[in-house]
Amino acid sequence: MTFFDVRVPGLQMTVVQADGDGNDVEPVTVDEFRIGVAETYDVIVQPKENVAYTIFAQPEDRSGYARGTLAPKMGMTAMVPPMDPRPMRTMVDMGMGKMGGMKMGNMAGMDMSGMGGRKRKTCPRQVRMTPLQKE
């Protein structure tokens, strides 16, 4: 499942309802919100100028984006903003912050010889492996 970060550059949004089932919320003004699959939010925007705005949504992994236009007249468009950098998650971000102190190096007493496992495959001799070229 994917989460999307949604924003309208140049406008603040006031979230007034969550999940579309009449779940009114205490209105909160935001620049951006995160939405998941099958979630809905009702937001109010109040443009102060007679210009077009881009409604911009990017997935959490920053693999692409979707855009729409909010405009006072047909045919108007707005600039597409640059995508945010891809976030790098740590163990703390995933709720596993207490694992940082675990010492995994010395596993004396753990006999893994009976595990079977798959044998490691190697490249055939006729395949030549070369280092990746940096651009």
Specify if 117 maps to a domain.
Answer: no
Residue 93 is assigned to a structural domain of this protein: no
3-state secondary structure the chain: CCEEEEECCCCCEEEEEECCCCEEEEEEEECEEEEECCCCEEEEECCCCCCCEEEEEEECCCCCCEEEEECCCCCCCCCCCCCCCCCCCCCCCCCCHHHHHCCCCCCCCCCCHHHCCCCCCCCCCCCCCCCCCCC
- 45 located within any domain: yes
Residue 35 covered by a domain: yes
Q: Is residue 47 part of a domain?
A: yes
- The total number of structural domains that make up the chain: 1
Q: pLDDT tier at 93 (50, 70, 90 boundaries)?
A: confident
Domain assignment present for 5: yes
- Structural domain contains residue 28: yes
43 is a domain residue = yes
Domain of residue 64 covers: 1-79
Answer whether residue 135 shows pLDDT above 80: no
Per residue in 63-86, pLDDT tens? 999 999 999 999 999 999 988 888
